[in-house]
Amino acid sequence: MTEDIPPIAERVGDALRDREATVAVAESCTGGLIGSLLTDVPGSSDYFDRSLVTYSYDAKREELAVSRESLDEAGAVSDPVARQMAQGVRDRAGTTWGVSTTGIAGPSGGSDEKPVGTVFVGIAYAAPWGSGNSSTRVRRYEFDGSRTAIKRQIAEQAFEDLEAAVERGAP
């Protein structure tokens, strides 16, 4: 293992490579951290396609086709937006897997309903055409710590969710 690469990033890469699968990432609160950690792994070009940092509402709409209604009704930090982000990056990139993160890294911006540290991680799978087995799963988490600590925890959780999904063959 290389010094700063989380072991989970290497395991995800191995799991994707073993299945000849690919991944693209749509990041909001992590600001490119997941893509950076993925590309820290030697040979990541075998499975990593791209990471889109879509921080603003407009970026989510324009780059990932997240609906205005979802953003307006649920807000950027929500299940529907994380779902559409994961599906959007998967479909735009034409990859097997799409991963999304949207949350509140802090230190401000939280509320009683969505405190600082709240994040939604989406994992979207593209099954073979005609199978009807494509699917997406979103999970909500809450993390504590500084802004950078929260971002790191979110990235590692996204890797864990992706690794589990790849191992199962579905989100």
Dump pLDDT digits (tens) for 128-147.
Answer: 999 999 999 999 999 999 99
When pLDDT is cut at 50, 70 and 90, the band that residue 1 belongs to is very low
Give the span between the Cα atoms of 162 and 92, in whole angstroms: 18
For helices 57-64 and 79-93, the axis angle rounded to 10 degrees is 40
Task: Indicate if the pLDDT at residue 2 is higher than 60.
Answer: no
Is residue 14 a contact partner of residue 135, using CB atoms and an 8 Å limit? Answer: no
The H-or-E segment that residue 135 falls in is strand 135-142
pLDDT band at 5 (very low <50, low <70, confident <90, very high): low
| Per-residue pLDDT tens over the stretch 147-157 | 999 999 999 99
Model confidence band, residue 4 (pLDDT cutoffs 50, 70, 90): low
Q: What is the predicted pLDDT for the residue at 151?
A: 97
Predicted local confidence at residue 131, as pLDDT = 95
| pLDDT-above-90 percentage for the chain | 95
The reply to whether omega before 107 is within 30° of 0 (cis) is: yes
Ordered domains of the chain (ranges, CATH): 7-168 (3.90.950.20)
Label residues 22-56 b or e (16+ Cβ within 10 Å = b).
Answer: bbbbbbbbbbbbbbebbebbeebeebbbebbbbee
